[in-house]
Amino acid sequence: MQNLNVLYEDNHIIVVEKIVNIPSQADKTGDTDMLTIIKQYLKEKYNKPGNVYLGLVHRLDRPVGGVMVFAKTSKAASRLSEEVRAKQFEKKYLVITNGKFENDTGILEDYLLKNQAKNMSKVVKEGTKNSKLAKLDYEVIKYDSNLNLSVVKINLHTGRHHQIRVQLSSRNHSIYGDPKYGGRGHGKQICLWAYSLKIIHPITKKELTFELYPQKIGSWKILEDCM
C-alpha cells in the first residue's frame, strides 16, 4: 500500500496529495488507484469493518500529481459535486512548458474534441459536433533561456479532457515530459502539478484553500528561484 500524504481531514472530507502515475479511480489497467488507497487508509485508521464510503468528486490525469479532495459522506459528495458543476472549485496548476511565451499573462479559449479511441483531445473550430469550450488563464513566473523552458501558473476555468496539455501544445508550448502532445523529455515525469485547490466546505460552508508544491527535483529544479 502506498504512503498517503493527508493535507486535511474531518468527518466530511479528506484532502490528499494525489500520487503521480496512479489513477484517480480504478481503470482498465487494474492498477492501484487513489480511491482504493484512501479507503484502505480510512479502514485502518478507524478500524472500520466492511466497505468504506468514499466519494470521487473530481479527477486528475494519471501522470499528474497534486491536491485532491474526496468526500467521506454521500451528502458531502453531492454538495461538492454541485460545486464542481457550478464552477465554484478554484483549481490552479504549475506547469513547465517548451518555449518563451509572447505575453507573460493571458487567457486561452478553445473548443476541444475528445477522441475516445486514442484517449486524446484536440482543438477544433467552434460549432464542431461534440466539441466543448475550454478556458484557462495563465501567468509566466519564470523563463529559463538556457533550457528554453517556461514555468507557468494556470488557473483552470473549465475541466475538459487533457485541457491544459492540449491548449498549451496547440500554441507550441507543449508540457515537458508529455510526448503524447509533442513535449520534450521523453520518459521523464510530466511537469504538470495541481498545486492549489479552493473549495467551499460542504457542511460548514467555510471557504478552504489547500496548497502543495512539487518537490524541486528533476525538471522541477528550475522552480528554485521563483517559489
Q: Which residue has the higher pLDDT, 13 or 189?
A: 13
Nearest 5°: the CA angle 76, 28, 44 is: 45
User: What's the grid cell of residue 87?
Assistant: 464552477
* All domains in the chain, ordered by first residue: 6-220 (3.30.2350.10)
Contact (Cβ atoms closer than 8 angstroms) between residue 190 and residue 64: yes
User: What's the grid cell of residue 85?
Assistant: 458543476
Question: If we measure between CA atoms, which residue out of 156, 148, 147 comes closest to residue 192?
Answer: 156
Nearest 5°: the CA angle 27, 92, 181 is: 55
Weakest-pLDDT range from 20-24, 60-64, 210-214, 215-219: 215-219
Residue 2: the pLDDT is 66
Residue 226: the pLDDT is 53
User: What's the grid cell of residue 35?
Assistant: 480511491
User: What's the grid cell of residue 203?
Assistant: 457542511
Residue 108: the pLDDT is 98
Give me the mean pLDDT over the 8-24 stretch.
96
As a whole number of angstroms, the distance between CA 108 and CA 150 comes to 16
Does position 94 have pLDDT exceeding 90, yes or no?
yes
Q: Which amino acid is at 201?
A: H
Residues counted in the chain: 227
Average pLDDT value over all residues in the chain: 93
